[in-house]
Chains A and B, each alone.
Chain A
Amino acid sequence: MSSFGWLKEEFGLYRERDTIIHNLDPRVKFMWLMVVGIVIIIFKDPIWMLLFSIPAFGLVSRMAKLTWKDYKPLAFPVFSICLISFLINQWLFFGHEHFLFYMIPNLGIIGPAIPISLESLMHASSIVARIPLLMGPVRVFIGTTSVKDLASGFTKMKIPPEITMSISIAMGYLPVLLAQLRSVMESQMARGYSFESGTKNPVRALRQFTPLMIPLVTRSIIRAEFLAAAMVCRGFEYDPQHRTYLKEVKMNRTDKIALALITSGLVLSIIATVMGWARYQALTLPLAKRILGIA
């Protein structure tokens, strides 16, 4: 708390690099992200998901030169969500056929409760697998697409330029906001303010943020007016529809090949789903039964 390490870290996950993925048209990357999302959601078998993700996410991440370091900050939250989601899905599952054991054994007072079966394991793991397999590609997208590119890409997709510019400016303004938050925190700490971590009462926990939030918000509102004036002084609104974008978004050969690959990936995945191959009943469940020797 006293060193503000988390605030000092450079904000923004985007890193300028020269890789095929970084140089792809932002619209192609957006398309890729959508397709990966759709496929991971329609697939209902963890093994299929993995098989799909190895090229669709693993290879892409490799090509973008992202390393474990880039994902590390995500690891803990993703793991926690996975664990919670796994437990909830065990509890809510009803189609048990091959009973294995009780999560809470018979303890006399409580239990036995929450039965675990082969089916519930399959079901929960296919849901849990989605979390990292969706978060990962999002991280790749953010890490390889600058907000500026995104804005010009969106403008090409007929989203009003005022909106896309506002998003990109908001991102550019984040470091200022963080610096502001830091200086508010330091100022309040200087007169004795401290977090009482471990407050169970949610109202009280929220109240602790008031001394930070009110100065932060009032200061930001004042700043926002200056910022808007500065933008007007730089010709924003001169002719947004015909504004020049220095990084002209244009599809080249690589983009078209990528687009073809993405489309075929989507088509194949839909076929696999429609044919019923991508359900855990079709692959993982029989496999597990054979390994465990259950009839």
Chain B
Amino acid sequence: MSQSKEFEIEINNVTWTYRKTEKPAITNLNLKIKPGEIIFVTGPAGAGKTTLCRFLNGLIPHFYTGDLKGTVIVRGMDTADYPPEILCGHVGLIFDNPSNQLFNLTVFDEIAFGPENLCIPADKIREIVADALKFCRLETYVNKTPHHLSGGEQQACALASIMSMRPQIYVLDEPTANLDPYGTDLVLQRIEELFRSEKKTGVIVEHKLERVARLADRMIVLDQGRVVLEGSPREVMQSVDELLRLGLKVPQVTQLAHRLRMKGANIQSLPTQVEEGVEILSKLFDQGRLRVSKQVADRKNNSGVRTQPEKEVLVDCQDIWYKYPDGTEALKGVNLKVYKGDFLGLIGKNGSGKTTLAKIIKGIYTPSRGRVLISGEDLTEKTGIERAKTVGYVFQNPDDQIFCRTVRDEIAFGLKYMKLPKPEVERLVNKAASTMELEEYLGSNPFNLSQGLRQRVAIASMLVFEPEVFIIDEPTTGQDFARAKIIMDVTEALHRGGITILIVTHDMELIAEYANRLAVMKGGTILLEGSTKEVFSKPEILVESSLKLPQITILGQALTKYGTPPDVLTIDEMEETLTVSQGS
């Protein structure tokens, strides 16, 4: 343990191949981390980010087996010689999914579990647990079951349960991937304070570039097991094209500034935060190098760009009330109309009732009061097949459904309850498969397909009923950007094919890009309903429901004195609005 104190972590030329796989998950990785340094790691799915995390506390090669070349030295200890149960006192590892790492019956037991295992005396443990509870703002939940907390609180509990082992190094593997914006804030604030006040060394894997970039000293981008970009976050963020090529979610202001720079605007360093963006663009406006295009300035008050003329009502929720068995009122008199051809966004923070409403429309829950009319027909009491024929539902994880031996059986699953003649089943299955571009896989085993294809199989198995409405349930939660994109691309294709879409989400960038109408929910009621642009130009209502406008909209609103519209939805739209003038 007496090696140089210069580096806390030294990864020397490491190549790792998991057992029973051909391709190395990590190839020739070199990384040296100084004490107190914070490294931000990102990259597309399958880049080797999680594998990198597993190196650092000895999970590789002790828990996961395979072929390791090179050495990983953590605080002077070669991880090949020290198993995780020893290293865990030095390196704390937090995973993306809180429910996969919490397994005790109370929050207190959860936090005490680590130090108990490390044989720390009981009095000392009580002290440590009390500190960790306080730090993670969990004092009021001491005796609650971790799984009954909100996502953000669960992840805070996971953080506390690692803190209690007093590690010097924290490795966080996508700690906010499964959280809503509110939970993300909670967890990132705790992480920020941890690094700022306690001077810990950290490795954070994340997809939320704009949130984590300002925390980190160094940023690394992995792709297919190799480092493709490395440097300070500011330096790495300059390579916008490369980041976009990898399918990463580059902050909107960075993208906009990059495009303006390509058009000749004088921007030295690309911003990542809105404030920086406002500063840079204001300067350009003041210097006369940037102006709002004439035609856009004229039409900026015309906010109904995406709203279409009056159409027939497809789904009509009339005074819907819903009470959970434990007595909580989830919905309190919701009235909502979905028109044919709509792409309606149902937004609100977790617990606002948006998923409950969606499940009532689908018929998974029966409302305690009120009724749902679909194409004028009351289907409130009808469940199962009757509902499947009218409303489709895309769940977050296709693996909750898939169980058949072939894709064909999987798609035909629901139809067998309808007792249709065989040729008819065949016809419907083939039709759904062709819409989802699955014809060549009909004979394959769905378990062997990629996640993206399995998602399409799940969607096809609802599409066979030829429903008129599809509900998309939180496509971005617990998914990386690329996978969420798969769902959204399919959704858009369905919409183009004439299907009405209702999307439940708290991802405002997604909403801005796709939805034509929004319904904002809070506390079991609908707070506001209108076209996307109308809703986006009322930031105070969105703040009230803990929703954050996309960077680009905030930017537009901050620059209105230069003539930018306050309801810009996408980067393209903003780019069109602005004209770069050379020289002057």
Is B359's beta carbon under 8 Å from chain A? yes
- A5 near B325 (CB under 8 angstroms)? yes
- A244 near B145 (CB under 8 angstroms)? no
Q: Which residue from chain A places its CB closest to the CB of B118 in the assembled complex?
A: A235
Is B543's beta carbon under 8 Å from chain A? no
Q: Which residue from chain B places its CB closest to the CB of A244 in the assembled complex?
A: B116
- A191 near B399 (CB under 8 angstroms)? no
- A210 near B63 (CB under 8 angstroms)? no
Cβ proximity bits A101-126 to B, threshold 8 Å, 1 near / 0 not: 00000000000000000000000000
A250 to chain B, nearest CB (A): 12
Q: Which residue from chain A places its CB closest to the CB of B410 in the assembled complex?
A: A191
Residues of A within 8 A of B417 (CB): 192-194
Is A146's beta carbon under 8 Å from chain B? yes
Is A236's beta carbon under 8 Å from chain B? yes
Is A226's beta carbon under 8 Å from chain B? yes
A70 to chain B, nearest CB (A): 17
- B57 near A233 (CB under 8 angstroms)? yes
Stretch binding the partner chain, chosen from A175-183, A266-274, A275-283: A175-183
Is A83's beta carbon under 8 Å from chain B? no
Is B214's beta carbon under 8 Å from chain A? no
- B359 near A186 (CB under 8 angstroms)? yes
Is B192's beta carbon under 8 Å from chain A? no
Q: How far is the CA of A210 from the CA of B165 in the complex (A)?
A: 42
- B126 near A175 (CB under 8 angstroms)? no
Known: A148-B109, A242-B119. A215 touches B399 (CB 8 A): yes
B470 to chain A, nearest CB (A): 11
A213 to chain B, nearest CB (A): 8
- B103 near A169 (CB under 8 angstroms)? yes
Q: Which of A9, A14, A210, A248 contacts B403 (CB 8 A)?
A: A210
Residues of A within 8 A of B383 (CB): 1-2, 189, 194
Cβ proximity bits B283-317 to A, threshold 8 Å, 1 near / 0 not: 00000000000000000000000000000000000
Tell me the chain A residues, 207-245 only, with Cβ under 8 Å from chain B. 210-211, 214-215, 218-219, 223, 226-240, 242-245
Tell me the chain B residues, 69-84 only, with Cβ under 8 Å from chain A. 84
Q: How far is the CA of A1 from the CA of B403 in the complex (A)?
A: 22
Q: Which of A191, A218, A243 has the most chain B CB within a 10 Å cutoff? A: A191
- B117 near A234 (CB under 8 angstroms)? yes
Residues of A within 8 A of B51 (CB): none
A207 to chain B, nearest CB (A): 12
Residues of A within 8 A of B400 (CB): 180, 183-184, 187-188, 215, 219
Residues of B within 8 A of A228 (CB): 63
Cβ proximity bits B400-421 to A, threshold 8 Å, 1 near / 0 not: 1111000000000111011000
B64 to chain A, nearest CB (A): 8
- A175 near B59 (CB under 8 angstroms)? no
- A233 near B105 (CB under 8 angstroms)? no
Q: Which of B114, B359, B399 contacts A219 (CB 8 A)?
A: B399
A116 to chain B, nearest CB (A): 43
Q: Which residue from chain B places its CB closest to the CB of A171 in the assembled complex?
A: B105
**Would you call the interface of chain A mostly helix, strand, loop, or mixed?**
helix
A229 to chain B, nearest CB (A): 6
- A190 near B388 (CB under 8 angstroms)? yes
Q: How far is the CA of A137 from the CA of B88 in the complex (A)?
A: 42
- B85 near A192 (CB under 8 angstroms)? no
Is A291's beta carbon under 8 Å from chain B? no
B420 to chain A, nearest CB (A): 12
Q: Which residue from chain B places its CB closest to the CB of A194 in the assembled complex?
A: B384
Work out how many contacts link A and B, with CB atoms closer than 8 A.
Answer: 190
Q: Which of A10, A211, A230, A237 contacts B103 (CB 8 A)?
A: A230
Cβ proximity bits B436-456 to A, threshold 8 Å, 1 near / 0 not: 000000000001000000000
Is B198's beta carbon under 8 Å from chain A? no
Q: Which of A193, A218, A235, A236 has the most chain B CB within a 10 Å cutoff? A: A235
Is B363's beta carbon under 8 Å from chain A? yes
Q: Which of A1, A5, A12, A190 contacts B393 (CB 8 A)?
A: A190
Is A252's beta carbon under 8 Å from chain B? no
Residues of A within 8 A of B500 (CB): none
Is A172's beta carbon under 8 Å from chain B? yes
Residues of B within 8 A of A180 (CB): 400
- A192 near B147 (CB under 8 angstroms)? no
Q: Which residue from chain A places its CB closest to the CB of B462 in the assembled complex?
A: A191
Residues of B within 8 A of A244 (CB): 115-116, 119-122, 125
Tell me the chain B residues, 148-176 only, with Cβ under 8 Å from chain A. 148, 161-162, 165
Is A3's beta carbon under 8 Å from chain B? yes
Is B40's beta carbon under 8 Å from chain A? no
- B88 near A235 (CB under 8 angstroms)? yes
A175 to chain B, nearest CB (A): 4
- A192 near B385 (CB under 8 angstroms)? yes
B301 to chain A, nearest CB (A): 42
Known: A175-B148, A248-B122. A193 touches B85 (CB 8 A): no
A241 to chain B, nearest CB (A): 9
Q: How far is the CA of A2 from the CA of B102 in the complex (A)?
A: 29
- A243 near B119 (CB under 8 angstroms)? yes
Q: How far is the CA of A239 from the CA of B397 in the complex (A)?
A: 38
Q: Which of A1, A180, A227 has the most chain B CB within a 10 Å cutoff? A: A227
Tell me the chain B residues, 90-134 only, with Cβ under 8 Å from chain A. 92-93, 95, 97, 99-105, 109, 112-122, 125-126
Q: Which residue from chain A places its CB closest to the CB of B114 in the assembled complex?
A: A234
Q: How far is the CA of A240 from the CA of B100 in the complex (A)?
A: 22
B150 to chain A, nearest CB (A): 14
Q: Which of A8, A176, A190, A214 contacts B364 (CB 8 A)?
A: A190
- A236 near B395 (CB under 8 angstroms)? no
Tell me the chain B residues, 496-542 only, with Cβ under 8 Å from chain A. none
Is B562's beta carbon under 8 Å from chain A? no
Is B343's beta carbon under 8 Å from chain A? no
Q: How far is the CA of A242 from the CA of B399 in the complex (A)?
A: 41
Q: Which of B102, B118, B125, B366 contacts A246 (CB 8 A)?
A: B125
Q: How far is the CA of A199 from the CA of B161 in the complex (A)?
A: 48
Is A147's beta carbon under 8 Å from chain B? yes
B313 to chain A, nearest CB (A): 23
- A232 near B103 (CB under 8 angstroms)? no
Q: How far is the CA of A237 from the CA of B113 in the complex (A)?
A: 12
Q: How far is the CA of A232 from the CA of B59 in the complex (A)?
A: 8
Q: Which residue from chain A places its CB closest to the CB of B413 in the assembled complex?
A: A191
21 contacts between A and B (CB under 8 A): A2-B364, A2-B366, A5-B325, A12-B105, A12-B145, A14-B105, A172-B102, A175-B148, A184-B400, A187-B401, A187-B458, A188-B400, A191-B462, A191-B465, A233-B92, A234-B113, A234-B117, A234-B165, A235-B88, A243-B116, A244-B122
Lowest 7 A-B CB distances belong to which pairs?
A192-B414, A214-B403, A235-B117, A230-B101, A226-B100, A187-B400, A191-B414
Given A190-B362, A192-B413, A235-B165, 14 other A-B residues pairs in contact with their CB atoms under 8 A: A2-B363, A172-B105, A172-B109, A186-B395, A188-B401, A192-B414, A192-B465, A194-B384, A211-B401, A215-B402, A226-B95, A229-B95, A244-B125, A246-B125
Binding site for B on A (CB under 8 A): 1-3, 5, 8-10, 12, 14, 16, 146-148, 168-169, 171-173, 175-176, 179-180, 183-184, 186-194, 210-211, 214-215, 218-219, 223, 226-240, 242-246, 248
